Homo-oligomer: A and B are copies of this chain.
């Protein structure tokens, strides 16, 4: 068995799109647990659009990843050595283990993973932060109510695909925006969305007028940019915009224009509210219970796109997000 732990560290802050010079692969001995700690052999790491923000040296909701630091991420793996009774050897766990083959944990933020409910990668998707982001973004920030018309961008992504299904389960009419006919077909044919708009081949504003002639009550925004403006133009009275992300501009090097239709918020007495899923940590039990029930009952379709290649493949896999080249939750198999 190997004694080496290979890691992906931030080598250089990217300007625009991350590339090979952004990352370096380092090696160090596999860490040994002290009292209260355990060592995890990482099986899968999560790739998320928010990671791009963590690479910039700006004040944000979390400190940036430091130059030379192991890239921050959630991961799932198996305990291979333990001095922590809660996480014995052999236990599958999720936690913020970073992009590396082995991680040391004191158990904070770690969660025992129940493989009988769903396979490991799902615990980084529907049963992980993306699922909780969808759940609290819709129910709490979006104040979802039965009968609402809900628009979701990035709808074939990890968060959007779950958000749309939750909205359907709660009695909403759901319209998704995604890129390409395959993703759109997946939304309507497999996930039960009422309509899907392919932003690559049609005018979102025009398609939205057709799909939601009376306007929308909730816009769950993962992308920003022109699609946000198209959504603002269709708000109903008292609509809610839940700002989850803005991936369309994450790699931009020029200042991005703001939503020029923002005064629709005024005319429609609507709100636009940003949120960060970390703020809901103490309500995760509620969200996890709901999600587990839906998964157990087969009411939510979960999908992960599992890329392979280990730590060396991290940089290229991350960029799939910015190319819109993933459907469902993007994860990278490490071991």
Contact = CB atoms under 8 A, between A and B. Distances in A.
Report, as a range, how many residues of chain A touch the other chain.
20 to 34
Contact of A266 (B266, B270, B276): B276
Contacts of A263: 224, 243, 246, 274
Nearest to A232: B258
B61 A267 contact: yes
Nearest to A272: B272
Interface in A263-277: 263-276
Interface string A244-284: 11100000000111111111111111111111100100000
Contacts of A266: 243-246, 274-276
A229 interface: yes
A201 interface: no
A246 B257 CA distance: 17
A245, A261, A262, A270 — most chain B CB neighbours (10 Å): A262
B279 A269 contact: yes
A116 interface: no
Interface of A: 60-61, 224, 229, 243-246, 255-276, 279
Contact of A258 (B60, B244, B262): B262
Contact of A274 (B257, B270, B273): B270
A264 B243 CA distance: 10
A272 B272 CA distance: 5
A260 B257 contact: yes
Contacts of A268: 61, 274
A272 B271 contact: yes
A229 B258 CA distance: 9
A262 B264 CA distance: 14
A71 B152 CA distance: 41
Contact of A259 (B229, B258, B267, B275): B258
Contacts of A259: 258-259, 262
